[in-house]
Structure 1
Amino acid sequence: MTSLLYHLLQRESMSCFNTIKESWDVINKVGQIDGGLAQLTKTFHICRELESIDNLSNWLESAYSYLAMVNYPYPTDFLMPLPGSPIKEVCRKIDSLPDGASVLQRIFEGISIYYNYTGKVDCFNLNDDPHGMSGWDWQACTEMIMPMASNMTTSMFPEFYYDPKSNEEQCLKDFRVKPRPTWITTEFGGHAFKSALKAFGSNIIFSNGLLDPWSGGSVLEDVSETIVALTTKKGWGKHITTILSATANMSYHCLFDIASCLTPLRMEYGQSYLANDEIFFA
């Protein structure tokens, strides 16, 4: 996730990338001075005064992570109302402010593309859960334990380390459950997933566009003749694409969306052509 976003932002604009990377230190410095949290609250139009720097940092990190997942070239609104290529728009906002604009002003303008593209939000409630993530939090405590960490060398996020003890305490506090960190590898094979799939699976297509930040955790190589992996380096084959309504762009130039392209009829009777990492059917 963080690695893909790192490269996406660098590709769009190095000045945008550097502004975001610099912003974490600026936020920490401002937040530690007298009246700093009140200043950050005002700058970012937060509804209630911030209680800690972490609240703001987590809010910003969430937006950047979601932007990597929904960086489609056409408008969408299933997470938030967003323009096409929203990362490009975020960087355009950050870079377009006049000389003399502060780092925090630039970050606010950029992040507003995600949280307030419609311009209808007067202030932001950081405790709101617009994406319904409580269900995912439950799964992350019971089934899909996903240790995550970052550093300023290979990502643009602040440095942090995964702490299994702290994670267990949070799961007990939120849901009264203890994580089972080895359950999913025991159930599905972990790094030995190919052996597990061969033992019971057939007629499975794993579809991935490598622009999907979660593709790194998927099956990217054929497992057998009947368990195949289809990938594209430049396509829009993100894991959420399959639940979106079709658009003119998607139907006319369908780049690796298995839900709308790989219909059973085409799989049985059609021909496929692979060119320039794009899959077409005739």
Structure 2
Amino acid sequence: MAFQTCGLPMCKVTIYFLLSLFAVGEGQYKGFRRFHQVQDTQQRAVFEEQWFTQKLDHFNGADSREWKQRYFVNEAFYRPGGPVFLMIGGEGPANPAWMESGTWLTYAEKLGALCLMLEHRFYGRSHPTVDLSTDNLRFLSSRQALADLAHFRTVIAEARGLTNRKWVAFGGSYPGSLAAWFRLKYPHLVHASVATSAPVHATVNFPEYLEVVWRSLASENADCPLQVKQASDTLVERLKDPESYDNITKDFNLCSKLQIQTMNDFSYFLEMLAGNFMDVVQYNEDNRGFEGVTGGNITIKVLCGIMGDTSLGEPYARYAAVARLMMETFSMKCLDVSFNTYLRDMTNTSWEGPAAGGGRQWVYQTCTEFGFYQSTSSPNQPFTGLPLLYYVKQCADFYNVSAEQLAEAVAQTNEYYGGYDIRSSRIVFPNGSIDPWHALGITQDITSSLPAVFIKGTAHCANMYPARSEDLPQLALARDHIFLLLQQWLKQ
């Protein structure tokens, strides 16, 4: 959800989240892929990984256990007396590419800022515990992450003589929420925040995500979401007849003959195919190539072009053509749609497990804090077969979290942070109209010191990526507006 860092490979993970753009990493697991999907690559020597000692539990003084958290530093633009920029990591490995490129560095050069990036606990190489058992994952939460940020800011400021400097937090997607909440909960430590594509309102059921997908597809071609819906409905009908399974297996190039024995098998298959469209919409035309993300050439225009190509046959055949294009793009020989494989991977608690790149961790956070389940419970969206129960049941299967516990956890999150009703100052909330996550973000000014920047025609975290000549004029203006706000706030 989909809050990857901000990326999109085609593996499995349920809950397309925002995977944070600045975690900047997103693992390869579904519900988690809708963030950033960049692998944990070797960083260049100029930005060597550094390590900071953190408490395992910031809220229990009797627990003295500690661990090492990874961070990066870029001092190239720092001028004495300048501000400190802190990029917040999210649900994936911290990607050193952000220490070399991105809009925040453009701002840093103009303002003489020191730039730091802190990896989120339990992601990347920041391992607080020996494994990812559910018992250990209780130390994974946004509140613990904010306390990590606070302690890091305090100690680094003292060590580097930056206590009196003005600190600015940056983040996109889930880290965007953390940037806003850092300013909200620790106003004495962070002077201002840029909270990009930040879903600040937690909700168990999030059908609005797919409603935005419908509108975003329709913005390219009004018939496109109708064709997707027709294809999805046709597939659902064919799934009712086991005699059709051989043909479906061939049509979608599945790794083994389709087996639909449970509702989970049914929904998981449909989710994998719907995810092709969800991922592309979320990151439509975002300039993510510098992170190592592939597939950026597949846009809404490309998908709607395929869905409108009558030479390929009926909409169902075009839907299959989209799936094959995505597999080819990501060098996948076949599509594994086994829910049992997904269940096995997501319950593997080893740091070497297939979901340890962030999938197991992020889905845990959705089950214990945020929800964000992109169900098909709304009529105004193009897919079928993803009921809320399908997602909620995974919380019990993976972590023994009941539906009642999930609902209570989400309510507590909104109670603690305020949801849409945030009360703070010097936080700017950029969002893109194409990005489905804007439905849970701030898209209108709350006050003059809590402004929104709603960018028509752009997707997830677009304002954070490096500028390029083909950017929409409104995107360039948004970046400039955010810079002017920072200039103004740093004088306060």
CA distance in 2, matches of 1:115, 1:78: 20
Matched ranges for 1:94-133 at <5 A: 94-98=307-311, 101-117=313-329, 120-126=331-337, 127=342, 132-133=358-359
Q: What is the aligned partner in structure 2 of residue 81 from structure 1? A: 294
CA distance in 1, matches of 2:259, 2:427: 48
1:3-42 per-position Cα deviation (integer Å, ceiling 9, x unaligned): 2221222232344333211122321232232432222111
How far off is 1:70 after superposition? 0.8
CA distance in 2, matches of 1:251, 1:64: 22
How far off is 1:75 after superposition? 7.2
Which of 178, 181, 184 is the equivalent residue of 2:410?
181
User: Is contact 1:202–1:226 with CA below 8 Å preserved after alignment?
Assistant: yes
Higher normalized contact order (CA 8 Å, seq sep 6+, divided by chain length): 2
User: Is contact 1:76–1:83 with CA below 8 Å preserved after alignment?
Assistant: yes
Rate the CA distance shift 1:103–1:12 in 2: closer, same or farther, 3 A.
Answer: same
How far off is 1:141 after superposition? 0.3
Which of 459, 468, 475 is the equivalent residue of 1:248?
468
CA distance in 2, matches of 1:106, 1:54: 20
User: Is contact 1:6–1:154 with CA below 8 Å preserved after alignment?
Assistant: yes
Structure 2 counterpart of 1:255, which letter? L
How far off is 1:95 after superposition? 2.2
Structure 1 counterpart of 2:395, which letter? C
Which of 192, 216, 230 is the equivalent residue of 1:22?
230
CA distance in 1, matches of 2:378, 2:411: 29
CA distance in 1, matches of 2:334, 2:245: 16
User: Is contact 2:286–2:462 with CA below 8 Å preserved after alignment?
Assistant: no
Q: What is the aligned partner in structure 1 of residue 253 from structure 2? A: 45
1:31 is the counterpart of 2:255: no
Q: What is the aligned partner in structure 2 of residue 170 from structure 1? A: 394
CA distance in 1, matches of 2:234, 2:372: 29
CA distance in 2, matches of 1:124, 1:91: 22
How far off is 1:77 after superposition? 8.2
CA distance in 2, matches of 1:156, 1:79: 30
User: Is contact 1:69–1:213 with CA below 8 Å preserved after alignment?
Assistant: yes
1:218-268 per-position Cα deviation (integer Å, ceiling 9, x unaligned): 11232333222222223x2x4433664x25337795715877873479734
Which of 375, 382, 407 is the equivalent residue of 1:156?
382
CA distance in 2, matches of 1:10, 1:130: 36
How far off is 1:105 after superposition? 1.9
1:267 is the counterpart of 2:487: yes
1:176-219 per-position Cα deviation (integer Å, ceiling 9, x unaligned): 3342231111111235x14xx1xxx2221111222221112111
CA distance in 1, matches of 2:289, 2:277: 16
Unaligned runs of 5+ in 1: 270-282
Choose 253-262 or 178-187, whichever is displaced more.
253-262
Structure 2 counterpart of 1:8, which letter? S
Cα-Cα RMSD: 3.5
Matched ranges for 1:215-230 at <5 A: 215-230=438-453
Secondary structure at the counterpart of residue 19 of structure 1: helix
Rate the CA distance shift 1:167–1:30 in 2: closer, same or farther, 3 A.
Answer: closer
Secondary structure at the counterpart of residue 181 of structure 1: helix
User: Is contact 1:86–1:113 with CA below 8 Å preserved after alignment?
Assistant: no
Structure 1 counterpart of 2:429, which letter? F
- Percent of aligned pairs with the same residue? 17
Number of aligned positions between the proteins: 256
More helix per residue: 1
Q: What is the aligned partner in structure 2 of residue 6 from structure 1? A: 214
1:80-111 per-position Cα deviation (integer Å, ceiling 9, x unaligned): 62244611101212222517x24332111123
CA distance in 1, matches of 2:306, 2:228: 12
1:146 is the counterpart of 2:372: yes
Rate the CA distance shift 1:227–1:149 in 2: closer, same or farther, 3 A.
Answer: same
Unaligned runs of 5+ in 2: 1-208, 261-265, 343-353
Secondary structure at the counterpart of residue 205 of structure 1: strand
CA distance in 2, matches of 1:50, 1:130: 27
Structure 2 counterpart of 1:133, which letter? G
User: Is contact 1:41–1:50 with CA below 8 Å preserved after alignment?
Assistant: yes
Secondary structure at the counterpart of residue 104 of structure 1: helix
CA distance in 2, matches of 1:130, 1:76: 24
CA distance in 1, matches of 2:485, 2:387: 48
Secondary structure at the counterpart of residue 143 of structure 1: helix
